[in-house]
Structure 1
Amino acid sequence: MSEPPPLLPAPLFSTSRDDRLVRRSLARGEALRLRRGIHAEHDGSAPPRDAAGIAEAGRRLTLLRAQALSATIDDAIFSHSTAVALWGLDWLGEWPERLHTTDRGTRPAQTRSTFTRHRGPLLGPDIRLRSDLRVTSRARTVADVLLTRPAAESLVTLDDALRSTFLSADDIANDLSGRKTARGSRRASETLAFGDPKSMSAGESISRLRMRDSRFVAPVLQESFFDHEGRIGDVDFWWPGYGIIGEFDGHGKYLRDVYLKGRSPAQVVIQEKQREDRLRAHRLVRRVVRWGWADLEPLRLEALLIRAGVPRI
C-alpha cells in the first residue's frame, strides 16, 4: 500500500548565534527562531517571531525537525508520539515534549530530558523516510500507540489513521500479531476492533468510547438524510428506530479552513442552523442532541444522552 505524500515543513537551517545575517532575518520577520541555533524560514502568514507563522499542516513537523537537529540521538528511528506527528495523524491532548525513538540494537531503553528511547525489533518494512527523518511505518506507529497509550488517546490516533486510504485495520493487526506477548497487547487488540474510519474527528472518537463504556446502544455513524429539497447531509450519530440524532460540535468547523471552505464563520453558523432545522423537521427524526468537548466528561455525556432518550444495552 502506498504512503501518503510528505508534509511540507518550513525550511530549516542551523546557524551560529553570532550570524549577523540570521539576526537581520529575524529582525525583518523573514525567519523564526525555533530552538537555540535552529531557525525556520517564515512564510509571512503570521506576525514575525511567532511559530504560528509556519503553515498549520507543517508547524508541528517543523518543530520536531528542529528538535531532531539539535538533539544528540545516534541512529535515531523516530517512533510513538513523534512518529504520529511526523505522519500528521491526530493526537489527543498536548504533544509530548520529548522525542521518542526505537532502537533496533542492544542499547537499553532510556529516558532523558529531551528524548525517550524504546527497545524493540524493527524490520525493513517497519522503517520509512519521512521529511528526511527515519520514522516507523504508519502501521508500526499506530500499533506502538495502541500498546502504550490509554484507550482514549490511542483510539483518536487509530480512527484518524483508518480514515485515510493508506492504512487498514489488517495492516495494524499484522504488526500486533508479532507482538502478542507485549505488555498491553490485549487492550491494543480490543481498541483496534473498536476503531472505525467513519469516526470523523477526535471528539467523535471519544464520544463513541464514552457511549460504549456507559453501555448505550451503538449508533450508526455518518448516516445520510434527505428531504423534499434534496440531500441534507450526514449526521455524526444516528439511533434508527428511536429517531435520535447526535452531533458532536467541536467548534473547529467555525474556525478552520478545511471546514470553512471559503465561507465566513457567520455563513457556516447560518448554514448549520438551516441544516439542523431540516433535520428536526424530518419525518424520521424525533430529537437532535448536540454536545461539545466540555460535555465529554463521562458522567456529563451519560446524563445528556439519558435525557435525550438514547437507549442502553
Structure 2
Amino acid sequence: MERPLPILRAGPAREVSCDPTTLRRRARSSGADRLVRVGPNAFVEGTRWDSAGPRQRYVTRVYARLGRIGTAAVASHASAAAVLGLPALGGWEVPVHATVPETMYRGRTRDLVLHTRPVRADERLPARGVRVTTVPRTVVDIAMRDDLRSAVVVADGALRAGTGAAELAAAVDRRARGHRRAEHVLGLADGRAGSTAESFARVVFLELGLPRPVLQQEFVVDGRRFSVDFWFPDQGVVVEIDGRAKYTQERYLAGRSPTEVFLDEKRRHERLLTVPGVRTIIQLEWRDLFDPDALVRRFRAAGLPCPVRPARSARPGAA
C-alpha cells in the first residue's frame, strides 16, 4: 500500500511546541520551515511535499481527510485505488472519495465526495490508521460510477497485480444501481494488458470498431521470443504502444543510451516483419490515443477495418 507523508496536526504538534497559530504561519511562509496544507488542520513539511510524487501527495490528502471525518469513513473509489496501488487514467488531481453511513452524508464539496453504499466487513482493509475498500470492491465501485476507459484501466491493473477475475465478479452487488455497467467492465478487463496505456488503447480500439486484438502475442524469430502489445491476426497487423519513457527513464534504458534503445527497437521490428503473416507494425504514443481522426486514417491505411468514428471518442477532457 502507498504510504502517506507524515502529517502534522494541531493536537500532536503542541507536544513539540507548535500550536495551531504557528502551523498556519508556517503554511504561509516560503522559508525552509514552510508547511503545505493538505486538509483541515493537516499540514506536511514543504521539503517532503516537494519531493513526493503525484500519487503519494494524493494519498496524503486522503489520510488527512479521513482523519478528519472519523473512524466510520472508508476510503473508496479513486482514493482507495491510490492507496492500494491501482492505476489511474486521469491522474491524481481528483477529490478525496470516502464511503460513510447515510447518517454522516452531507453532500459533496470541491475536495471531498461522499458515498453511502454500505461496505461490509469483508470489503474493507486497515491501512495505517484508516480503512480502505478492498481491491475487488474498489474496482466495482469505480466500474459502476466512472467512464468505461477509466474503469477498464483500474480493472486491468487489479488483474495484472494478481486479483482473480472471480473475485472481481463476486464483488458485484446485483441490487446496486450500476451493476450492469460493472459487469460490462469486468467482461472487457484483461490482466494481460501490460500498462495503463495498453488498457486505454483497448477501449479506444473498441470505440473505433476494430476487431478484438490478441494481447501479448509471442513470436519466435531465430530462437528469440518477441512479445507484442496487440496482434490483429486476420489483417497481419501489430500495434505497439511506446511512450517517451522508453527513451528517457533508466528502468527502460538499462544502461543503454536513447540512441541504442532506438536502434534495438528498430532491429526488433525488422525481425518481427520476417514472421509469416506479419504485414506491418503500427507504433503509437500515448498522445495518439487522443486523436481518433488520425488513428482511423492510420488503421485504415494499414488494412484494419475501422467502420465507425464514434461521437463519444477519446478526447483529453473525457479522460
- Normalized against structure 2, the TM-score is what? 0.80
Shift of 1:170: 1.2
Shift of 1:284: 3.6
The question of whether the paired residues in 1 share the 8 Å contact of 2:197 and 2:241 is answered with yes
Shift of 1:92: 1.2
Query: Within 1, Cα distance between the matches of 2:150 and 2:96?
Result: 18
Deviations 1:23-68 (A, max 9, x none): 9xx8558x863537644468xxxxx47x351257644323433444
Counterpart residue type for residue 243 of structure 1: G
Aligned-residue CA RMSD (Å): 3.1
Is the deviation greater in 277-286 or in 55-64? Answer: 55-64
Is the deviation greater in 295-304 or in 152-161? Answer: 295-304
| Structure-2 residue corresponding to 1:222 | 216
Aligned residue runs from structure 1 range 284-303, under 5 A = 284-296=277-289, 297-303=291-297
Residues 183 and 300 of structure 1: CA distance in aligned 2, closer, same or farther (over 3 Å): farther
Q: 2:2 aligns with which of 4, 7, 14?
A: 7
| Structure-2 residue corresponding to 1:174 | 170
Query: Within 2, Cα distance between the matches of 1:105 and 1:93?
Result: 29
Query: Within 1, Cα distance between the matches of 2:118 and 2:61?
Result: 27
| Structure-1 residue corresponding to 2:121 | 124
- Normalized against structure 1, the TM-score is what? 0.81
The question of whether the paired residues in 2 share the 8 Å contact of 1:98 and 1:114 is answered with yes
* Same amino acid, percent of matched pairs: 31
Q: 1:149 aligns with which of 143, 146, 149?
A: 146
How many residue pairs get aligned? The number is 295
Is the deviation greater in 294-303 or in 55-64? Answer: 55-64
The question of whether the paired residues in 2 share the 8 Å contact of 1:35 and 1:66 is answered with yes
| Structure-2 residue corresponding to 1:248 | 241
| Structure-2 residue corresponding to 1:35 | 38
Residues 236 and 168 of structure 1: CA distance in aligned 2, closer, same or farther (over 3 Å): same
| Structure-1 residue corresponding to 2:183 | 189
Query: Within 2, Cα distance between the matches of 1:107 and 1:19?
Result: 29
| Structure-2 residue corresponding to 1:203 | 197
1:231 aligns with 2:224: yes
Residues 60 and 277 of structure 1: CA distance in aligned 2, closer, same or farther (over 3 Å): farther
Structure 1: give runs of 5+ residues left out of the alignment: 1-5, 43-47
Query: Within 2, Cα distance between the matches of 1:35 and 1:208?
Result: 36
1:18 aligns with 2:22: yes
Query: Within 2, Cα distance between the matches of 1:139 and 1:13?
Result: 32
Query: Within 2, Cα distance between the matches of 1:259 and 1:32?
Result: 35
Residues 288 and 120 of structure 1: CA distance in aligned 2, closer, same or farther (over 3 Å): same
Query: Within 1, Cα distance between the matches of 2:305 and 2:97?
Result: 42
Counterpart residue type for residue 239 of structure 1: F
| Structure-1 residue corresponding to 2:81 | 84
Shift of 1:293: 2.4
Query: Within 2, Cα distance between the matches of 1:235 and 1:54?
Result: 33
The question of whether the paired residues in 1 share the 8 Å contact of 2:87 and 2:154 is answered with yes
1:64 aligns with 2:62: yes
| Structure-2 residue corresponding to 1:45 | none
Residues 32 and 163 of structure 1: CA distance in aligned 2, closer, same or farther (over 3 Å): farther
Counterpart residue type for residue 171 of structure 1: E
Structure 1 or 2: more helix by fraction: 2
Aligned residue runs from structure 1 range 103-142, under 5 A = 103-108=100-105, 110-142=107-139
Counterpart residue type for residue 7 of structure 1: E
Specify the SS of the correspondent of 2:181. helix
Shift of 1:278: 2.2
Specify the SS of the correspondent of 1:209. helix
| Structure-2 residue corresponding to 1:3 | none
Is the deviation greater in 54-63 or in 77-86? Answer: 54-63
Shift of 1:125: 0.5
Shift of 1:219: 1.2
Specify the SS of the correspondent of 1:62. helix
